[in-house]
Structure 1
Amino acid sequence: MTIHARALLFDNDGTLVSSLASVDRCWTRWAEEYGVTEAFGRVELHGRPAVEIVADLLPADAVPEALARIETLEVEDVPNGGVHLLPGTKAFLDSLPADRWAVVTSATRRLAEARLDAVGILPKTMVTADDITRGKPDPEPYLRAARELGVDPAHCVVFEDAPAGLAAGRAAGMTTVALTTTHQAHELDADLVVRDLSALSALVIDGGVEISVHG
């Protein structure tokens, strides 16, 4: 299968990098601090903005302080080795022009920059939780990234590992590629499903990028 695109939009955690160890460590500590360990165990965590998770667990007046606390815990945990590049990430991104791709993440800008800096990724364009009013599965994050790159959403390809992110990409009218790094293939509704970015290659052509499966 070959996909043609004018812009490539990547989720970060679970797509470009793995931060599962850090996320588990920090959110477990956070839940203990706020006395919501039992309720936290029933909440869907991956692929959702922290503000939504916190709002599910705490009263509205406690959300701002608690949100700042989890952001601090996660940023301070980055140097502890809980973040690493997923297979194929560096080679795939290095093959792309800097103005043809963006990172679209549910993390705050402070946290996203800390994680990406730790693994040496410096996107020219990035949309974070701080830049939007509605997070994934709403299409707003991906539509904003397309606008910032100056590309019609129909000519964008979204790379995601989570159902909510793939739903956002579909709702934005974009082609979707799912990576089975955090979910099983049958849980992911996408135009193409691969194990990770190491299964793909990108060829820059006139007017865009040609993406192919090679393994």
Structure 2
Amino acid sequence: MKIRATALLFDNDGTLVSSLESVDRCWARWAEEYGITAEQFGKVELHGRPAAEIAADLLPAEIVPEAVARIEDLEVEDVPNGGVHLLPGTRALLDALPADRWAVVTSATRRLAEARLAAVGILPKTLIAADDITRGKPDPEPYLLGARALGVDPADCVVFEDAPAGLRSGRAAGMTTVALTTTHRAAELDADLVVEDLSALSVQVTDGGVEIARRD
């Protein structure tokens, strides 16, 4: 199977990098500080959603801004402690792409996303973060904004995601979707193509765009 596109849009956590160790540490501490039980926490969809939406599901509206600022501080401060690393295939795939053919579209804040990306040596020319949007994934706004920032028709973009919410966002934006089974089982991921991680893919840049194929 080959997919042709003009631009590639990547989620960050769970797609380019793994930050699960850091995320687990920080959100567990945050939940304890705000008196949120494990049962309450378990009922909320966490992965691939902005922190502001998660906090709004769990806390009274009047303390959500403070709580969001707190989790951002915890996660940024935790980056140097380890638990953030490149996922297989990330470096090789991004190195094969011109800087103006790809973007990172993340549910994290810009401050947090830049901290995690810098920790693993990735410096995207185009980054869409939670600060830039009014509606997070699964709404199509984040990926539509990514396409606009690159000057590309959404129909000519491919989204790479590990979370159901992100895949729904990409599909709603009218984009081709590639799912990675880094954080969810394949059965949970509805996409045009499902692979283990980016190492399963090859890319070839042509005058007309980018060609993506599954490695043999």
TM-score (norm 2): 0.98
What code does the residue aligned with 1:23 have? V
Write out per-residue CA displacement over residues 15-56 of structure 1, whole angstroms, 9 at most, x where no aligned residue: 000000110100000000010123123222111110011011
Mapped to 1, the partners of 2:8 and 2:210 lie a distance apart of 8
Whether the 8 Å CA contact 1:22–1:78 is kept in 2: the answer is yes
Task: Look up the match of 2:31.
Answer: 31
Residue of structure 2 in register with 1:18 after alignment: 18
Give unpaired runs (5+ residues) of structure 1.
none
CA distance in 1, matches of 2:11, 2:76: 18
SS at match of 1:71: helix
> Aligned partners of 1:104 and 1:207: how far apart in 2?
23
Once the two structures are overlaid, the 10-residue window that deviates more, 35-44 or 155-164, is 35-44
SS in 2 for 1:114: helix
1:49-128 matches, cutoff 5 A: 49-128=50-129
1:82 Cα deviation after fit: 1.1
- Counterpart of 1:28, as a letter, is A
The alignment partner of 1:181 has SS state of coil
After superposition, the C-alpha distances for 1:176-200 in whole angstroms (9 at most, x for unaligned) are 0000000011110000000000000
1:140-189 Cα distance to aligned partner (Å, 9 max, x none): 00000100100000000000000000000000000000000000111100
Q: What's the C-alpha RMSD, in Å, of the aligned pairs?
A: 0.7
Number of the residue aligned with 1:178: 179
Greater than 3 Å deviation, 4+ residue runs: none
Measure the CA separation in 2 of the matches of 1:57 and 1:187: 24
Once residues 91 and 78 of structure 1 are traced to their aligned partners in structure 2, the CA distance between those partners, rounded to angstroms, is 23
SS at match of 2:24: helix
Q: Which sits farther off after the overlay, 40-49 or 21-30?
A: 40-49
What is residue 170 of structure 2 aligned with on the other side? 169
Unaligned runs of 5+ in 2: none
Are the counterparts in 2 of residues 28 and 37 from structure 1 also a CA contact under 8 Å? no
**Contact in 2 for aligned 1:200/1:212 (Cα 8 Å):** yes
Residue 36 of structure 1 aligns with an amino acid whose one-letter code is I
In 1, distance between residues paired with 2:199 and 2:36?
38
**Cα distance between partner residues in 1 of 2:5 and 2:155:** 9
Partner-residue secondary structure (3-state), 1:46:
coil
The answer as to 2:47 corresponding to 1:46 is: yes
Identity %: 82
* Residue of structure 2 in register with 1:131 after alignment: 132
- Letter of the aligned partner of 1:170 in structure 2? R
CA distance in 2, matches of 1:189, 1:119: 29
Secondary structure of 2:136's match?
A: coil
